[in-house]
């Protein structure tokens, strides 16, 4: 077994994409994550990688539109400078494009690769990407699901990440998840499913695993600015599930009622292969017409 560089090793990693769990990380003192480096690096990134909004969001807000619907009226430089008091939320996609994050990114990919191999879900993380989150005290990240597996690491401040069970129709009906996966619909928070979720309180040096497509919302602590970073990725298994969900979506549109994904591994794999060959046929037809 290869040693992990960024994460403290734990048997909890066997739960990758099976259940949410917390663990510890070793990146607390990495210079890329201090506020002065963030204040330099973030404004230098391409604008389309930096999303920021008012931190005064509700669990029910549309997370994908918050940076458009809930602007804070400040520039990104002012937002970072005044983050303690500006009641804002900053999300940065692919900070690894800045040189200060490069070694961190490579080390995290190496750890994720090792954990995937141990679980037998592929040899290499698919589309791995870092995301940075900087938030004023008390800010809320609304309920949402990600089309990825996530390891979220805390660097400053405290937060509570509340994670819902995966593939539970009381949280999200299968048809809604399939439409979301197909970029043909959004997911809706159902307050009555809150009792099914598990809240994880975590502090600097700690991390949490959010399984593929598990709904979650986040509330920052009241004492300090929160700085956290996630690495998101797909595995061979989650990629197969994504394709099976997209196939289900197109079957439902034709009036059929396919078995939801997540109940049978072999059926999901079969569907992913069908979806892949259908996409190839569609591409081939596209080329010849």
Q: Find the shortest distance in angstroms from Cβ 146 to Fe ion.
A: 5
| Number of helical H runs and strand E runs in the chain | 7, 11
Q: Closest CB to Fe ion among 142 and 260?
A: 142
Q: 213: left (phi > 0), else alpha (psi -120 to 50), else beta?
A: left
Which residue, 146 or 201, has its beta carbon nearer to Fe ion?
146
Report, in Å, the least distance between residue 216 CB and Fe ion: 6
Between CA 176 and CA 248 the distance in angstroms is 11
> Closer CB to Fe ion, residue 9 or residue 146?
146
CB of 60 to Fe ion, least distance (A): 16
If the CB atoms of residues 152 and 261 are measured against Fe ion, the closer one turns out to be 152
Beta strands in the chain (DSSP E): 21-24, 50-54, 88-93, 126-135, 140-144, 149-156, 159-163, 198-202, 206-210, 216-220, 226-234
Measured from the Cβ of residue 164, the count of other Cβ atoms closer than 10 Å reads 25
Residue nearer to Fe ion on the CB measure, 146 or 224: 146
Which residue lies nearer to Fe ion by CB, 20 or 116? 20
Residue nearest to Fe ion (CB): 146
- Name the residue nearer to Fe ion (CB basis): 150 or 248: 150
Which residue stretches of 29-93 are H helix?
A: 35-44, 66-69, 76-81
Q: What is the CA radius of gyration of the chain?
A: 19
Q: 105 with 92: CB under 8 angstroms?
A: no
CA neighbor of 149 nearest in space, from 179, 186, 188, 108: 108
List contacts with Fe ion (CB under 5 A). 146
Smallest gap from residue 178 Cβ to Fe ion (A):
19
121-160 in b/e form (b: 16+ CB < 10 A) is: bbeebeebebbbbbbbbebbbbbbbbbbbbbbbbbbbbbe
The number of beta carbons lying within 10 Å of the beta carbon of residue 23 is 18
């Amino acid at each position: 077994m290869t040693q992990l560089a960024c994460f403290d090793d734990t048997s909890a990693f066997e739960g990758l994409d099976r259940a949410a769990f917390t663990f510890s990380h070793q990146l607390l003192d990495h210079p890329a994550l201090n506020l002065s480096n963030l204040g330099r690096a973030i404004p230098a990134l391409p604008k389309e990688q930096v999303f920021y909004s008012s931190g005064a969001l509700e669990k029910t807000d549309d997370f994908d539109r918050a940076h458009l619907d809930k602007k804070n009226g400040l520039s990104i430089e002012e937002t970072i400078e005044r983050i303690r008091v500006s009641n804002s939320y900053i999300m940065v996609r692919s900070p690894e494009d800045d040189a200060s994050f490069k070694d961190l990114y490579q080390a995290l990919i190496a750890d994720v690769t090792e954990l995937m191999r141990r679980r037998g879900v592929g040899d290499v993380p698919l589309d791995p990407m870092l995301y940075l989150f900087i938030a004023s005290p008390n800010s809320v990240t609304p309920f949402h699901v990600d089309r990825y597996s996530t390891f979220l690491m805390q660097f400053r401040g405290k937060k509570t990440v509340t994670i819902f069970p995966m593939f539970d129709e009381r949280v999200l009906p299968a048809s809604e998840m399939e439409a979301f996966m197909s970029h043909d619909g959004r997911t809706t928070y159902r307050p009555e499913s809150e009792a099914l979720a598990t809240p994880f309180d975590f502090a600097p040096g700690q991390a949490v695993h959010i399984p593929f497509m598990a709904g979650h919302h986040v509330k920052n602590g009241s004492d300090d600015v929160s700085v956290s970073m996630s690495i998101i990725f797909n595995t061979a298994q989650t990629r197969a599930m994504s394709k099976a969900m997209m196939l289900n979506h197109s079957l439902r549109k034709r009036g059929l009622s396919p078995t939801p994904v997540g109940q049978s591994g072999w059926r999901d794999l079969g569907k992913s292969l069908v979806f892949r060959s259908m996409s190839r046929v569609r591409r081939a037809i596209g080329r010849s017409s």
